[in-house]
Structure 1
Amino acid sequence: MPHASIPRHRACTQPTTEYDVVIIGAGSAGLSAALTLGRCLRRVLVCAGGPPRNAPSPAVQSFFTRDGVKPAELLRLGHEQLRPYDTVEVRVAQVTQIVAEGNFFELEAEGESGRTFTTTARKVLLATGVEDELPPVPGMRDLWGRGVLHCPYCHGWEVRNQALAVYGRGKIVTGLALLISRWTTDVVVCTDGPGNLSANARRRLRQQKVRIYEEPVSHLEGKPNGELRHIVFENGEKLARHALFVHPHQHQRSSLAEQLGCRLTSKGAVWINKQAQTSVGGVYAAGDTTPGPQKALLAAAEGTQAAIAIHETLTREECPK
């Protein structure tokens, strides 16, 4: 059965561009946005970059109907379910520059073959994600995603009732340790030197029977499967733990938001309003790129919300009063 022609209700004041929307990033947020926009008959280009942030993790947890699916499989399904929408194109490409040209954008990108191409779009959605800056403790990166974890909502069930540790200092480590104590009664805080913990923080941890180790950490010892075996301190002591939680600093995976002049929060996230629009008109953002909790399911929801906002904005532009 032939595809129905795509209706075009475009006022003469609208620019003629190759795409209505270019989505940069093909994780949960980007693919979810592409799906919604495809169903709105929008011409969309998805620029897929490198592997997702959760690639080292054995599974995506707490994702409705997909609990326990491997990260790569979740994305494979996302790509597969875009195929019926012939107005959506997915390309492996790294966008290197975005230039605002009045009421549209010109984008330059490097394709899979290394060749550069340019394209134009009326709106841009940044779904580029973030990168975690793990503490420089030997073994931390090697065990990331299995023995070293970041989110109790993603991994708490899998390590419940085990001997766990939380790495960090100050308010952040206190809050995370108290949260982890809901999954197990055996929690220790490792501050890797002076913990900068207030008297109140120490009291709260003590109430939950959370022990505090302020001895500097030498390295982490893991098992062949990537799980944690021991935290090794500089004094030679070894502490057996099943997993260690850490809340690492992060930075934007892409510099495009900064290049465009988008406002960033004090923590380096891309600021957005309730319609998922950044401080730069026509540029939207969704997923881990933006402030708030970071989970694949939430990123997918934010991608959908951004897509709806973009479609409705485009419609208002096409149907002026």
Structure 2
Amino acid sequence: MDRPGVYDAVVVGGGIAGLSAALVLGRARRRVLVIDGGTPRNAPADAAFGFTTRDGTTPEHLVALGRAELEPYGVRFLDGVVDGVLVDGSDDRTGVWTVATTDGATAQGRHLILASGLRDVLPEVPGARETWGRGLLQCPYCHGWEVRDQALGVIGCTDASPAQALLLRQWSADVTYFPHLLGPVPEEDARRLRVRGVRVVDGTVREFVPDEAPDGGSPRALVAVRVDDGSADGERVPCIAVFCEPGADAGSPLVSSLGCELRDDGCIVTDRLGRASRERVWAVGNAADPAAHLVTAAGDAYRTAVAVNAVLVREDCATVPDTGGVVGESV
């Protein structure tokens, strides 16, 4: 289909998932535009871990490497935040999406791939936002090695939090579980925590106590957790890192305007190929799965991009008239 100015796919989000999808489609000789707002979910972290050949690479460098790899394939980039979308045509299955950014730029694409990630919903505890990504962490597999053999904690956020504390014990013998707002620990969970050697400190977490910033900047590391024990100051429990299971919110003006179905965890509902509930809309990475790590997000985006290209081929066959000649022959 030769529609001047219309991309085969517009990828919203330029993190690992978005860049992976763009790479596959670019190599398939599709016209691809990546629109990126420059705020990846892992930006607060010092480095990304567990990505083979890139273990310990900073998030910014990973993105730079990904962008450089796309240059030979003609993938275009547009810096901006998409805040709305329109469909050109009465039928979602054949129309063209027009996306608009907050600064007034527009672009058209036959398919949309949402790789815009999500917003982590952190515990409502003073110090959480300030220490997120270095002192307050989510994934032991991503950051457990860096804080191994030190005083660690887990704050109760979901029913899975006791299991997270059991898991974290693999990295340190000094692990404290704070049930926080979850209330008393269920008997079987309490037994497992005892067997695993995890200390339980009851009471509401009052504060994540940050370390003093050595350069006078914003503090990011932790030194302790302060728990409300009925006293004026509360109990101070030493912890250099606390792990939590944050909530997820993949919502945005774009997702709202599309009307995509969302799961209870706030992410976009997709089928196994990444197809959203709206025709010609796909979701990859954390936009569809809050637990997707870098490797998982890249792999899922690869699979989705292959599926998008297959649909584009079918659309091309359905819309290009059959002239009775040989493909590529002049008529």
Q: TM-score, normalised by structure 2?
A: 0.86
Structure 1 counterpart of 2:95, one-letter code? F
1:91 aligned to 54, 75, 78, which one?
78
Matching residue's letter, 1:128: S
**Structure 2 counterpart SS, 1:300:** helix
> How has the CA–CA distance of structure 1 residues 255 and 179 changed in structure 2, closer, same or farther, with 3 Å as cutoff?
farther
In structure 2, relative to structure 1, the CA distance for the partners of 1:20 and 1:269 (3 Å cut) is same
Give how far 1:292 is off.
5.8
Give the aligned residue type for 2:26: G
Distance 1:261 1:51 in 2: 23
Distance in 2, matches of 1:56 and 1:117, equals: 28
Quote the Cα distance in structure 2 between the aligned partners of 1:253 and 1:280.
15
Instruction: Rate the CA distance shift 1:117–1:170 in 2: closer, same or farther, 3 A.
Output: closer
Aligned mate of 2:198, from 186, 207, 210: 210
Residue 298 (structure 2) aligns with: 300
In 2, Cα distance between equivalents of 1:227 and 1:191: 22
Q: 2:100 aligns with which of 92, 102, 109?
A: 109
**Contact map agreement 1:129 1:253 (CA 8 A) in 2:** no
Aligned counterparts of 1:169 and 1:277: Cα–Cα separation in 2: 30
Which residue identity does 2:300 align to in structure 1? E
Query: How far apart are residue 153 of structure 1 and its match?
Result: 1.1
Distance (whole Å) between structure 1 residues aligned to residue 106 and residue 45 of structure 2: 35
Cα deviation for residue 106 of structure 1 reads: 2.9
1:197 is displaced (CA, Å) by 2.4
| Alignment gaps of 5+ in structure 2 | 215-219, 323-331
String of CA shifts for 1:233-267, please: whole Å, max 9, x gaps: 23332111121001111111523233212121121
Instruction: Tell me if structure 2 keeps the 8 A contact 1:171–1:197.
Output: no
Q: What is the distance in 2 between the residues matched to 1:141 and 1:122?
A: 38
CA distance, structure 2, for counterparts of residue 117 and residue 231 of structure 1: 46
TM-score, structure 1 as length reference: 0.89
Tell me the amino acid that sits aligned with residue 228 of structure 1.
L
1:184-206 deviation per Cα after TM superposition (whole angstroms, max 9, x unaligned): 22211112356242111111111
Q: Compared with structure 1, are the counterparts of its residues 20 and 232 closer, same or farther at alpha carbon in structure 2 (3 Å cutoff)?
A: same
Partner residue, 1:231: 225
Size of the alignment, in residue pairs? 305
Alpha-carbon contact 1:132-1:250 (below 8 Å) kept: yes
Letter in 1 for 2:224: H
What's 1:48 paired with? 36
Alpha-carbon separation, structure 2, partners of 1:134 and 1:118: 33
* Amino acid in structure 2 at the alignment position of 1:53: R
Q: Aligned equivalents of 2:198 and 2:158: distance in 1? A: 15
The answer on 1:74 being equivalent to 2:62 is: yes
User: Mean Cα displacement is larger for which, 169-178 or 129-138?
Assistant: 169-178
- The CA distance in 2 between the partners of 1:80 and 1:89, in whole Å, is 11
- Counterpart Cα distance in 1 of 2:224 and 2:76: 47
2:128 corresponds in structure 1 to 140
Letter in 1 for 2:221: E
Quickly say closer, same or farther: Cα 1:163–1:99, change in 2 above 3 A.
same
Distance in 2 (CA, whole Å) between partners of 1:21 and 1:249 is: 30
Deviations along 1:215-244, one digit per CA (max 9) or x if unpaired, are: 222212222262211112233321111210
Are the aligned partners of 2:115 and 2:287 in contact in 1 as well (CA < 8 Å)? yes
- Seen in structure 2, the aligned counterparts of structure 1 residues 254 and 149 have a Cα distance that, compared at 3 Å, is same
| SS of equivalent residue, structure 2 residue 113 | strand
Q: Which residue of 1 aligns with 2:326?
A: none
How far does residue 165 in structure 1 lie from its aligned partner after superposition? 0.3
CA distance in 2, matches of 1:99, 1:145: 36
Amino acid at match of 2:100: A
**Is the CA contact (8 Å cut-off) linking 1:58 and 1:146 kept in structure 2?**
yes
Give the C-alpha shift of residue 43 in structure 1: 0.6
Are 1:290 and 2:284 matched, yes or no? no
Which residue in the other structure is 1:127 paired with? 115
